[in-house]
Amino acid sequence: MDGGWGGDASHAVRTDRLVLRPVCPAHLGDLIRLKGDEAAFGLMLHGTRTAERTTEELQDDIAFWAVRGYGTWAVHRAEDDAFLGIVGLMERPDGRGIALRFALWPWSRGKGYAREAARAALAFGHAAGLARIIAVARESNLASRAVLADLGLRECDRFIHQGHPMMVFESLRPLPPLAQQHQ
């Protein structure tokens, strides 16, 4: 059942080029390296992490999956199983809601992997019953904003965080065909 990596295979997602696996203890080394790297994780909420904080977050992520049925995935390239980064759906600590987030190694950027992983996570979340999923990006983070726009998320709010202008985007679950007919 664990797909050979120690995680829950029932929540794994395959795309054309990627395999998304719920994070598990087998991912800890990759996560420590990713989350400790400024170029890979510096723009994420709270910035880079220590190894200790990453270990705590992994435990929290595993528990979140168990309770919610969605969470953070490790993103792997299907052809060679290379670890590219993370994508996930997490509850924001500021109460804004469930947020899509992604962080990939700089060497893997520019190939559409973030877009592909984020699209799969968004679809998973809506299929799991989430009516609204948000994403937050720094106004200056043009790459993330481009991914979010391409996925159809629309800007719905702005705020300032530690002096940085932030943009909030949202994705609303499409109504079922019958419900659309009765509007």
* Helix, strand, or coil (residue 165): strand
| Helix 28-35 with 51-68: angle, nearest 10 deg | 120
pLDDT confidence of residue 179: 53
Query: pLDDT tens digits for 80-118?
Result: 999 999 999 999 988 899 999 999 999 998 999 999 999
pLDDT at residue number 68: 95
- Domains in the chain, start-ordered, CATH in brackets? 9-181 (3.40.630.30)
Q: Look at the block and give the residue holding tokens 């705020």.
A: 159
Long-range pairs for 15-18: beta carbons < 8 A, 24 or more residues apart: 15/78, 15/116, 15/117, 15/119, 15/120, 16/78, 16/116, 17/77, 17/78, 17/79, 17/113, 17/116, 18/75, 18/76, 18/77, 18/78, 18/84, 18/113, 18/116, 18/117, 18/120
In contact, 167 and 158? CB cutoff 8 Å: yes
Low-confidence ranges of the chain (pLDDT < 50): 1-5
Q: Dihedrals φ, ψ of 57, to 5°?
A: -65, -35
This prediction's pTM: 0.87
- Rounded to the nearest 5°, which phi and psi values hold at 69? 80, 10
Cβ pair 105, 40 in contact under 8 A? yes
pLDDT per position as a tens digit, 35-47: 987 777 777 767 7
Q: What is the predicted pLDDT for the residue at 1?
A: 32
Tokens of 173: 């679950």
